[in-house]
Amino acid sequence: MAIRISTDDAGRRAPRPALLPRPGAWPGIAAAVWGLLFAVPSLVWAAGSSFGARTTVAPSLVKLAEDRVAWFVAVLWLTGLLKILGAVIGIGLTRRRGRWTGRLLALCGAGAGVLLVWHGAVFVVHGVLVETGARPVAPDLAGLTRWYLCLWGPWFVAGGLAFAVATLRYVRRLDADAGARRLAAVGALGAALLSLVSTVTGIG
């Protein structure tokens, strides 16, 4: 008895397991992993530990954490939760969402991308200026500057690029809504303006 296999059956691909990410979803997944990993130090320090903070963070901030200053502890908890929210946004950008959800994701993703890249670039530029002697720094902060140059700066830039690419992919491939593209532009421009003002004024 012969078994005939139609060309349709032969050409049909096996269903993709639901737990595996879709091709091209890696930027959103990378942004989500970045957010979760980055939330850990904030939550650990907010809980009362200073593990890893003494050598990688400004001494004034470490003292605020160790003295359990109420407003600073609240800021640590808030930043930790915001980073977890960033992870949620990253996952949200991996596939098509509803109209208004997609627009909100595009706005937040683009804004986060610009803010993080700008913030990280400022750290890197400052570190380069200090290491080359173009900008003075207190001797006790020289080692700390290297951490911002080699760790925090690149880390912020990497997270920003992940959010930027994930958002770009979302508005170009997954969401045909022109409103999402416009809000992504608004988020990026707003974040750039905020970053510029923060840099010029020294606030933030």
Collapsing DSSP states into helix, strand and coil, what is residue 70? helix
pLDDT in tens, 107-123: 999 999 999 999 999 99
* Token digits of residue 84: 């977890």
Q: What percentage of the chain carries pLDDT values higher than 70?
A: 87
pLDDT 10s digit of each residue in the chain, 204 long?
A: 455 545 444 445 555 554 455 656 899 999 999 999 999 999 999 998 888 887 788 888 888 988 999 999 999 999 999 999 999 999 999 998 999 999 999 999 999 999 999 999 999 999 999 888 888 887 777 778 888 899 999 999 999 999 999 999 999 888 778 889 999 999 999 999 999 988 888 766
